[in-house]
Amino acid sequence: MTPFTQLDQIDLASIKRVGLVAGWGRFPIVLAKALKASGREVVCMGVYDHADPSLKDICDVCIFNGLGKFGWATKFFRKHGVEYATFAGKIHKFHFFDPGFIWRQAPDLYTIRFFANQFLLRRSDCKDDSLLLTAVRAFENRGVKLLPATYFAPELLMRRQLLTKRSPSSSQWQDVFFGWKLAREMGRLDVGQSVDVKNRAVLAVEAIEGTDEAIRRAGALCKSGKFVVVKVAKPNQDMRFDVPTVGPGTVKTMAEAGAAVLAVEAKKTIFIDPEETIRFADDHHIAIVALVEEDVDNPETERFFSLSTLERVGVAAASMARPETN
């Protein structure tokens, strides 16, 4: 898959109206509020049984419809003058395997045309990227370009830092590094975004069930608790969709399951309700750290993330000031 790389050709300031395709969770609400705060109109199509009804109170226009209505959705956006749209929120993919799911969505002819190879002819796989790229083509075929949500709200992306009072122990850092490489490979295969690890043994690998259910499964298997959750982006993450997202629900599930560390990828993970999330994590002795690829298996990583905020700033500044050597 080739990641989306055309942002430098788009004038962000000129986009005054944004289409929002909203799935499950808090992310669509947070994004809609950010778009409104930036002075933009928000035209929302919420997915039935997924999107929060409160979006109607935030967006300028908000209609709910099923997953099988891409023809209707593209016309809806064009009717309201939407040229640029974005995806936000999760689609519960496991419902795809409910008996009669496809036909209960009453797909329109436009949807059938684009998704026939996946759901009828079985010529294409149903990996997340395959389905979502098909959705992107369906919108763009009728003049609605899909942009990353973080293009409009870059402040939602996590920076490289330790976010909690507690940092991982030395053994937990080893689990972070071990889990990072496994999660990255699972992402490359488009299986899932997270793995759960203890003592460099894999407890659970996220697949169609999602991060929270994988954490619960790991907790059921690891009665002693204190395991590590690692969640990373795909190697060539298309930031228009399926971007790793964490928030209060993540750490609450971890606390219930007995997990002790959440390690995520900085600059490619969306952080929902950070203050609430960090406060809950601190209250339950959970460490949250956002790192980058270069931190993995780096002997300086544990020391860097154990420093105080001011000390970390000093180390980073010294590193940037250090002259390059050939």
For residue 229, the domain's CATH number is: 3.40.140.80
| Domain assignment present for 326 | no
| Domain assignment present for 313 | yes
Region 129-143 average pLDDT: 95
Percentage helix, strand, coil for the chain under 3-state DSSP, each rounded to 5: 45, 20, 35
| Domain assignment present for 1 | no
Output b/e per residue, 231-245; b: 16+ Cβ within 10 A: bbbbeebbbbbbbbb
| Average confidence score pLDDT of the chain | 91
| Domain assignment present for 24 | yes
| Domain assignment present for 269 | yes
User: Are residues 170 and 97 part of one domain?
Assistant: no
Range of the domain at 36: 7-152
- CATH number, domain of 87, equals 3.40.50.20
The closest alpha carbon to 271, from 133, 136, 161, 181, belongs to 161
User: Are residues 131 and 174 part of one domain?
Assistant: no
C-alpha–C-alpha distance, residues 147 and 253, integer Å: 30
190 pLDDT higher than 80:
yes
User: Are residues 311 and 213 part of one domain?
Assistant: yes
The pLDDT score that the predictor gives to residue 13 is: 84
| Domain assignment present for 206 | yes
5 pLDDT higher than 70:
no
The pLDDT score that the predictor gives to residue 4 is: 53
| Domain assignment present for 114 | yes
User: Are residues 218 and 76 part of one domain?
Assistant: no
User: Are residues 144 and 257 part of one domain?
Assistant: no
Of 119, 137, 152, which residue constitutes the final position of a domain? Answer: 152
User: Are residues 233 and 166 part of one domain?
Assistant: yes
Looking from the CA of 56 toward its CB, the CA atoms found within 13 Å total: 6
C-alpha–C-alpha distance, residues 110 and 114, integer Å: 7
**pLDDT tens digits for 12-61?**
889 999 999 999 999 999 999 999 999 999 999 999 989 999 999 999 99
214 pLDDT higher than 50:
yes
The pLDDT score that the predictor gives to residue 307 is: 64
Of 97, 122, 152, which residue constitutes the final position of a domain? Answer: 152
Q: Where does the chain show beta strands of DSSP type E?
A: 17-22, 41-47, 61-65, 84-88, 145-146, 161-162, 194-198, 201-205, 227-231, 245-246, 259-265, 270-271, 287-291
User: Are residues 147 and 162 part of one domain?
Assistant: no
C-alpha–C-alpha distance, residues 192 and 244, integer Å: 10
User: Are residues 46 and 87 part of one domain?
Assistant: yes
Of 152, 182, 213, which residue constitutes the final position of a domain? Answer: 152
The pLDDT score that the predictor gives to residue 315 is: 46
User: Are residues 190 and 94 part of one domain?
Assistant: no
Task: State how many domains the chain has.
Answer: 2
Region 240-266 average pLDDT: 97
User: Are residues 168 and 117 part of one domain?
Assistant: no
Region 73-94 average pLDDT: 95
| Domain assignment present for 306 | yes
User: Are residues 165 and 194 part of one domain?
Assistant: yes
Q: In a 3-state reduction of DSSP, which class is residue 4?
A: coil
User: Are residues 99 and 222 part of one domain?
Assistant: no
221 pLDDT higher than 70:
yes
- Alpha carbon 150 to chain centroid distance? 10
Please say whether the beta carbons of 161 and 276 come within 8 A. Answer: no
Tokens for 269, please give them.
């993970």
